[in-house]
Amino acid sequence: MEERLQKILARMGVASRRKAEELILEGKVLVNGKVATLGMKADPERDTIKVGGRLLVRPEPKVYIALHKPKGVLTTLEEGAEMPTIRELIRDVRFRVYPAGRLDFHSEGLLLLTNDGELAYRLMHPSYRIPKTYLVKVKGVIEDRDIERLRRGVRLEDGMTAPAKVRRVTRRGTEKNSWLEMTVHEGRKRQIRRMLERVGHPVLRLKRTRIDGIELGALAAGRWRRLSEDEVKRLKRSVKMY
């Protein structure tokens, strides 16, 4: 995000705002190779800033990755957690990235991570209605009337859910339980699990397979891959960054 250059210099400990203004007036500050002027704005994440010939900020390249989070791993980058975290799975990513959304400890599947703060914010904001698809194994044989309830929306303690797309998935050896594919666009905590508990079919397994057309595919559990240029463009179009 752009802000006044003297504010950036002060925040990064180069000088006070008044002294930063003096440095700018003296022509000692360059932005993308050009002499800065007083009142000029810059974006530390996008612009190269030099003060007195010394490189102050070199923006990192934007990184976009898909991770297959295994079950039993926390969606956190914090150090010192008692449980395994996704931090351990992305140690070979050269730049620091952050998850654009979450999966709970007992769930698995697709996570998107990036250092593009604006994209991450928009992907998580409910107003952009980003669809997320899950493969779900539930306890018991689910009846058509319960599937219709899920499709219409289910009343939870924090209000009515939006309608979901739901279809049966046939798998061998699951006569006593059921498999569903569900697509929702809300970001409520544990939403799929809570919806299915509400209709009397607790979740036995939950795997996110798709986010807005970005597929988990054959990516192995615990592995990551870079998103293609077309995949990044698709996400940005969905959140109106183009």
Phi and psi at residue 30, in whole multiples of 5°?
-115, 140
For the beta carbon of residue 196, count every other beta carbon within 10 angstroms: 24
Q: What is the three-class DSSP state of 74?
A: strand
| Rg from Cα positions in the chain | 23
Residues belonging to the active site? 104
> CB burial class (10 A; 0-12, 13-18, 19+) of residue 189?
exposed
Q: How far apart are CA 200 and CA 229, in angstroms?
A: 42
Q: In the 8-state DSSP scheme, what is residue 71?
A: T
Tokens representing 94?
Answer: 């050269």
Q: How many helices (H) and strands (E) does the chain have?
A: 6, 17
